[in-house]
Chain A
């Protein structure tokens, strides 16, 4: 049982025009086994929240705290956070030429576990996970994300999540740009990992479509760097019908 606790989180970014405050006091607690959907308009700061949790150097935390099972996440380096059990599936996964997927996955697994995985079971695990995500085995020899289609990149993110087995995963628009088939495959992947490992999930999305496949326990409306309202699944349906106007007007 793990708990990620975000309290009064403020983050800013340096821009040519000066410091820009993006996160303006985020409070959110995610326990193992829970799925929290975060929905909000473009530019409201959802990705900034995700990156801040992962420790992206561009974002400066100016106030607040983040703990994972009581440990200070903000004091950890990027790789230490991953080792502590945090995972970020990125909205735009990065291409790393020259590094094969299989080499990358093995290196990451070794880093997270602190020891190399047993070769035989590892090869089997990778193959099974790739099969389940309908990724052709040839991807293993391709360079990380290089020339992958949008949907392939997203599947590759979920593949990593399954193999690295984090405690808490942040999925930043993992559903965006996927066709219905790919959406179903990716969602099944997320559900499978959740069933197997009981991880807690922060699911950032613009569309309720994915919520047909992945049941959220909580829905949070994210507006202007803060959580503006929380509810259950019905809140998502209401957002889909009404949009964000009523939040933006008051913001």
Chain B
């Protein structure tokens, strides 16, 4: 793979942010948060956090208007100590770890009509993954979701999104002290779905969050994930896997906020792209505040471009305000599966389709193992193979 470093990263804060008119040198920490939709102007596409986004697709979700659509929830019998309840709008705000950070998310929270709260009681340890499937029926839907992991609880939660919808959401993830949560968000939408989501996590003292995001389906998916440390000794691992083919826009923005000492963060996102109009964006911001001594952080984004024309943007950004850190680094690389590699594999009898499969499976294999839920790992490999079949068909058509 020819590796070109597309990283536009700088180890300082020379990076623009902000709403409306971007202010140079503004810290990521300065971005406003609010439940008030009007606190955010309608993005024009020039803002730092919107400049890569397909605003045309996202536009319906920026209007300060109620919708009457719903997703269908398929919830299994929940284990003891775990509940899923509907929460009033006032409570939903109250129980969110913070307010929305952009207009789409503020609109989602404002018009969701309250929230669904998945609550794991303190000291509850659930061995089996809790698998929830939500299915879109082609409607316009706003959602607000609370995931609350009580102190010293331990659970795996998988939320799988299927079908189609124009869906925006605000997801609050609250880890109380010493909680361990493995949260897997699967975007397996049909090809015409549009999804804008903000996931904000707060990590209490000694808590551990493993957050995996998998985006395979949808016409446009924009997921904005933030994790903020509220207590010392906590750790977050954020994994992401995406695969875009022609006509798909997949965008993942991340923000890890080290505000307290002795916390660890790892961000690992990998994406594959195939088809001339496939488009992916990854923006990874990490802020190590002055107080956050002995922070240990590393973020990585790798993209594998399988065909000409596909475009992967990758923007890591590390802001460091203290000299007392244990480790901080980032890496970003976009590689191409090129003609010479293809020739080499084919000269050993491996067909073009098989060659692509070999390379893509190899590219994702270690990441998939990190998700830590065997059933999800298996179904993901299958989903990636399906995705590849799709790609192969598309390429065969292009050649024909």
On A, residues with C-beta under 8 Å from B are: 54-57, 77-79, 81-83, 87-88, 90, 93-100, 103-104, 107-108, 111-112, 143-144, 160, 164
Contact = CB atoms under 8 A, between A and B. Distances in A.
A82 B344 contact: no
Interface string B17-34: 000000000000000000
Given A83-B349, A96-B1, A111-B350, A78 B358 contact: no
Contacts of B354: 107, 111
Given A79-B352, A107-B354, A111-B354, A97 B335 contact: yes
Given A78-B343, A94-B343, A94-B344, A108 B349 contact: yes
Interface in B330-370: 335, 339-341, 343-352, 354, 358-359, 362-363, 365
Nearest to B1: A97
A59 B339 CA distance: 13
Main secondary structure of the interface of B (DSSP, over half): helix
A55 B344 CA distance: 11
13 contacts: A57-B343, A78-B343, A79-B346, A79-B349, A79-B351, A82-B346, A82-B349, A97-B1, A99-B358, A107-B350, A111-B351, A111-B354, A112-B348
A226 B350 CA distance: 31
B1 A95 contact: yes
A93 B347 contact: no
Nearest to A79: B346
A82 B348 contact: yes
Nearest to A81: B347
Given A103-B358, A103-B362, A107-B358, A96 B350 contact: no
List 5 A-B pairs, minimum CB-CB distance, nearest first. Answer: A98-B362, A82-B349, A108-B348, A111-B349, A78-B346
Contacts of A83: 349
A56 B340 CA distance: 9
Nearest to B3: A97
A88 to B, nearest CB: 6
Given A56-B343, A79-B352, A97-B363, 18 more contacts: A77-B346, A78-B343, A79-B346, A79-B351, A82-B346, A82-B349, A88-B347, A94-B340, A96-B359, A98-B1, A99-B358, A99-B362, A103-B358, A104-B345, A104-B358, A111-B348, A111-B349, A144-B344
A185 B358 CA distance: 30
A82, A83, A96, most chain B CB atoms within 10 A = A96
Contacts of A88: 347
Nearest to B363: A98
Given A94-B341, A96-B1, A97-B335, A112 B349 contact: yes
B346 A100 contact: no
B340 A99 contact: no
Interface in B125-162: none
Contacts of B365: 98
A81 B348 CA distance: 9
Contacts of B362: 97-100, 103, 143
A90 B348 contact: no
A90 B354 CA distance: 21
A55 B349 CA distance: 12
Given A82-B349, A108-B348, A111-B348, A99 B359 contact: yes
A81 B339 CA distance: 17
A103 B365 CA distance: 12
